Structure 1
C-alpha cells in the first residue's frame, strides 16, 4: 500500500470511511440569507457512504449556495448542518477538508502549464531532508501520483506532460483522484460535465462511479438529468432556493426527473395557453397530475 502522509493542509488519507449506517453529511431545514435575499430555504439533504446524491436545478436554483455551505465557504443562517451526526458550523473550507469534505470546482484549481504529478500535489508537496533545507521529493510524488491514478482506473502515459494538454474529462478525473488521496470522505463535484462533450462526460461519470465503489459519499451537482440518472442513487431538485423533489432512484424515473428539472408543473399548467399559439406543438408536454414522483413538502410560509 502506498505510504500515506499528511499534506500541508493536515488532511490524512484514510483507506476507507468509518463504518456506520448514519449519514456522513446531513442538512436539516438548512437555509442561507444574504441580507433580505433568501437564497436557500428549508433544504433537507443526506449523504451516505457509497452513494451518489445528485443535486439538480436550473441557474439560480440555489446549487452554488448549497455547495458553499457544505464546503465551508459560507455558513448557513437557518436549520442544521451535521457531519457524522454532530452539528457543525464551518468558518473556512480548511475546516471542511479536515472533516473529509472535499470540493472539485469547475475550474479544477489546476495550473495548466505544470506537469500532472505537480498538480496532483499542488499545495501539499512531499519533501525530504532535514529542516531548514528540505527539498521536494519529486521521485516519490511521481510514483505516488501514478499509483493513485491507477487505483482510480486512470492510466496516463506521461505524468510530465502539462495538465493543460489533457482532455477535460481527464483533468476532472485527476482532480477526483487527488481529492480521494488526500482524505476525502465526501466528494462534492460542481457541474463536472457542464463543459464536456458526450465522450468526455462518460469518462467523468465512470470515475464518479469508481469513487462510489471506494466508499465515498458523492454529491454530484448538475443541471443534466440524464447524466445524473446514469450514476445517481438519490435525487434532489432545487427550484428558486427550495427543495422541489427528493427521491431515491427506485421512486423516480428519468422522464419524471426531467419534468421536475424542466419545471414540468409549470409547463403542464401552461399547456392550454400554449395550445392556442400557432406553430407550438404541445402534444409532448405533461398534463396536470402527470408528475407522480415524490415531491418534497414545501416549508410553511413558502410558495
Structure 2
C-alpha cells in the first residue's frame, strides 16, 4: 500500500485570514502517491479554501507546501498546473456548446502547419480524445457530441478526464458526485479508482460520506478552519466521521452530547 511511500504532498502550517475571519488556522495535510484522501467538514470548515491553496487559486498568509519533497509557491492556478496539480471544481468549467474532444483539449488543442499557417488538427484531437476516454474507462459513444447533450455523470467524467489526462501528480475533486444519479455516482467512483491506480494522488471533497468508504484510503476532518481528526477508512465508520464533523457543535449545546460525541484532543 501507500504507507511506505514518501509524501507526494506535504502542507504545513497553512493559515488564511479574511479581515476578522480566520478561515484556515495552522492546517496541515499529507498525501502519498496513488493515495485517495477524503477531505470533509461542515460548511465553512475550510476544506475548499485549503484545496484552493494547493491548486494556486488562493495565496495563504502563512505555511509551506512541498510537492515530492520540493518546496513550491503558487501565485496562480497556472503555477500549480505547471507543478502538475489539477483541480476539478464543482461547476466543472465545461463549454456546453463545444464537443467532447474540444472540452478535453480546451486550451491545449493539437495543431498542424500547412504552408506556414497553423490549423487545428481535428482528426488528431478526436483520435487522442477517444484514446483518453478509453484509457480511463469513460463511456461516451462519440467525441463529436456536444457537452450540452450529455448526462450529469458524463459531464463530470469529462471534467475529471480532462484533468487526469495530462499527467497530473495531484488531482483535487470538489463534490464530484453531487446531484448525480446512483449509476452515475458509481461511474465517477470507478474513475477515481482508475486515476489513483495510475499513481495519481487524489483529494476528494464530498458531503456524501458513503463515497469515502468506497474509494478513500484516509479521511481528514476539518472544523472551523482547523484539523480535528485523521482516520484510515478501515479504522472508522460513517457514525464516527459524522460525530467528528459536528461533535463540537453538539458539545457546545449539550453537556450530555459532550460526553458522547466530543472531538478528541
TM-score (norm 2): 0.91
> Which residue matches 2:211?
227
CA 1:64 to 1:269, structure 2 compared with 1: closer, same or farther past 3 Å? closer
1:271 is displaced (CA, Å) by 5.6
| 1:26 pairs with 2:13 | no
Task: Count matched residues.
Answer: 262
> Which residue matches 2:133?
149
RMSD: 2.1
> Which residue matches 1:4?
none
Matches within 5 A, 1:24-103: 24-103=8-87
CA 1:96 to 1:193, structure 2 compared with 1: closer, same or farther past 3 Å? same
Specify the SS of the correspondent of 2:53: helix
1:259 is displaced (CA, Å) by 2.0
Give unpaired runs (5+ residues) of structure 1: 1-19, 274-285, 298-303
Contact 2:110 2:121 in 1 (8 A): yes
Distance 2:209 2:238 in 1: 7
1:268 is displaced (CA, Å) by 5.6
> Which residue matches 1:158?
142
Distance 1:247 1:57 in 2: 13
1:187 equivalent among 171, 183, 192: 171
Higher helix share: 2
CA 1:143 to 1:77, structure 2 compared with 1: closer, same or farther past 3 Å? same
Matches within 5 A, 1:132-147: 133-147=117-131
Distance 2:206 2:261 in 1: 24
> Which residue matches 2:159?
175
1:264 equivalent among 238, 243, 247: 247
Specify the SS of the correspondent of 1:134: strand
Deviations for 1:158-201, whole angstroms, at most 9, x for unmatched residues? 11111121111111111212112112110000111122232222
Larger Rg computed on CA atoms: 1
Contact 2:243 2:261 in 1 (8 A): no
Distance 1:99 1:21 in 2: 20
Specify the SS of the correspondent of 1:129: strand
Specify the SS of the correspondent of 2:45: coil
Contact 2:140 2:154 in 1 (8 A): no
Contact 1:104 1:189 in 2 (8 A): yes
Higher strand share: 2
Distance 1:264 1:65 in 2: 21
Deviations for 1:54-74, whole angstroms, at most 9, x for unmatched residues? 100121111221121000111
